[in-house]
Structure 1
């Protein structure tokens, strides 16, 4: 099968930063689906791995978001059959979706939204899982909960922020404050449903206080180390900070006076460790799929970058590194 990967970790402009190659189809495990990949999306994790994780044996295949059709099932698969249309975010420890075929555990796979084509559907899973787990695992909110409380989403126009705002507004009663610095990103987060918009390039603490709010929950999606002092200032006592990025160092001692909780959200944890509740990712993806089909959620895809190739994926990586992507980028399969 065709696949796209990299041999040496490094910058996007390095020779053969990504290249096309031929490789055998993946072997299918007992709980695996073999999926013919028809759409993929790009996420910051693709860039981080390409820059920092050296392949151990031959080229690494990146790509985690995907949508496609099941062409083979493992002996113990019960939830899917050949011909089913599915979408998923994959497993960071296994070969990715930048290939014609991918093997993926059925327990982290959802049914593709009927209202979206394969390419657009591929833009949803990773960010939806991240946002869902942040709300209901990290913050331990319940559906319909959060009345009288507020959530600050730092980096609201990115992929995770775009779906997190929507899920918070549709599944909880939280007041949502989103940060965005450009007119187009401010318009976008309002479209996603944010109640208030502030500029993270300014004095965030002052802007939040001007709203008369002290958020109980802060979703730190980008530049957490840069915004950390402001977060400590503006968050409510006994509040909760959940982050997804990789600050070089985070001193938690200043969080003690407010008795804050600080936690990481990493949507690959369930698949990496095959946790006892791994099937929750399948269940939440099916909920998200239904919500997209009934119009409760809107797609966060803003850029279609054509058919998957080494050149188109490199262009997508470069766009991702620019930090100016609104929502999600997607590509069609080979």
Structure 2
């Protein structure tokens, strides 16, 4: 089957072997697995991070956002049948979806939104799971709750921020404030429903104060948390909450103590990595997201379509991700 792979970690994306086309054997599904014919994928920062840090003796397959059609089901699989259209983010400890055929545990797979084409749907799974878990599982905001409270989203124009802003605006009563530094991303965040957009390249507190938005009850930091930490502690109310998804080299949490601020980590791969008892919640939330899309409550966060799934186009996508200038999600479609 056609695949895009790499072997040696840490190669610059312009290197011939950083990503290359290959032909790999078709995988065999396990008991709870689906064998999916991949129709479209999206590219995420995790793809570039894994490519930079993890290699192997055999070709490695990246990719954790896919839409496709079920071709086979495992002996104990019961949620889907051959021919079903699905979307999912997969598991970080298994081969990724830069392949024509992909194996994934059915408990982390959802039914594809009927109203979206495959490229539009591919933009959603990983970021929707991350955003949903951040808001409802980690910060424990209740649906239709949060009245009178303020949520600040650092880096709201990226993939996770793009769906998080929608979830917070449509499913809660929080006042949603996003940050962006470029006109394009500022408008993107406004169009997705943020009540306010401020510039994270300038001091945050004066901008919030001018808008009458201090103090902040919840902060979700999606990028450069170590850079913004001092400012986030400043703008959060006593006993407020800080959640994050990025990978700071260092994070001094002692400044949180004076205000009794709570810190919440989110990694959407945790449930699949540890095969947790509630792993099936990712199936359930993806099906819920699909229904919300079909009902017109949420919309795709597709930012750019980079063409077919091959090494050349994936290299372009990785380069944009690594530049930090992506907005929404980059998707690719067909082999």
Structure 1 and Structure 2 fold alike (TM over 0.5): yes
Task: Give deviations 1:148-184, integer Å, cap 9, x for gaps.
Answer: 1010000011000010000001111100000011111
Q: Which residue of 1 aligns with 2:265?
A: 264
Q: Which residue of 1 aligns with 2:315?
A: 314
Q: Which residue of 2 aligns with 1:192?
A: 192
Q: How does 1:166-315 map to 2 (within 5 A)?
A: 166-213=166-213, 214-315=215-316
Moved more, 101-110 or 12-21: 12-21
Q: Which residue of 1 aligns with 2:63?
A: 63
Unpaired runs of 5+ in structure 2? none
Q: How does 1:11-160 map to 2 (within 5 A)?
A: 11-55=12-56, 57-160=57-160
Q: Distance in 1 between matches of 2:21 and 2:183?
A: 38
- Could you tell me whether the CA contact under 8 Å between 1:209 and 1:234 is conserved in 2? no
Q: Distance in 1 between matches of 2:237 and 2:334?
A: 46
Q: Distance in 2 between matches of 1:133 and 1:178?
A: 18
TM-score (norm 1): 0.98
Task: Give deviations 1:45-101, integer Å, cap 9, x for gaps.
Answer: 00001111122x301100010000000000001110000000000000000000000
Secondary structure in structure 2 of the residue aligned to 1:61: coil
Secondary structure in structure 2 of the residue aligned to 1:217: strand
- Could you tell me whether the CA contact under 8 Å between 2:306 and 2:313 is conserved in 1? yes
Q: Distance in 1 between matches of 2:218 and 2:178?
A: 12
Q: Distance in 2 between matches of 1:15 and 1:118?
A: 29
Q: Distance in 2 between matches of 1:75 and 1:25?
A: 18
Moved more, 6-15 or 302-311: 6-15
Q: Distance in 2 between matches of 1:18 and 1:297?
A: 33
Report the alpha carbon displacement of residue 13 of structure 1 after superposing the two structures with TM: 1.9
- Could you tell me whether the CA contact under 8 Å between 2:139 and 2:264 is conserved in 1? no
Q: Distance in 2 between matches of 1:322 and 1:249?
A: 22
Report the alpha carbon displacement of residue 212 of structure 1 after superposing the two structures with TM: 2.2
Q: Distance in 2 between matches of 1:333 and 1:232?
A: 45
Q: Which runs of 4+ in 1 moved over 3 A?
A: none
Q: Distance in 2 between matches of 1:250 and 1:223?
A: 11
- Could you tell me whether the CA contact under 8 Å between 1:79 and 1:106 is conserved in 2? yes
Task: Give deviations 1:212-247, integer Å, cap 9, x for gaps.
Answer: 221111010011111111001001111111111100
Q: Which residue of 2 aligns with 1:329?
A: 330
Q: Distance in 1 between matches of 2:261 and 2:193?
A: 27
Q: Distance in 2 between matches of 1:15 and 1:21?
A: 13
Q: Distance in 2 between matches of 1:207 and 1:259?
A: 24
Q: Distance in 2 between matches of 1:268 and 1:209?
A: 37
TM-score (norm 2): 0.98
- Could you tell me whether the CA contact under 8 Å between 2:306 and 2:330 is conserved in 1? yes
1:161 equivalent to 2:171? Answer no
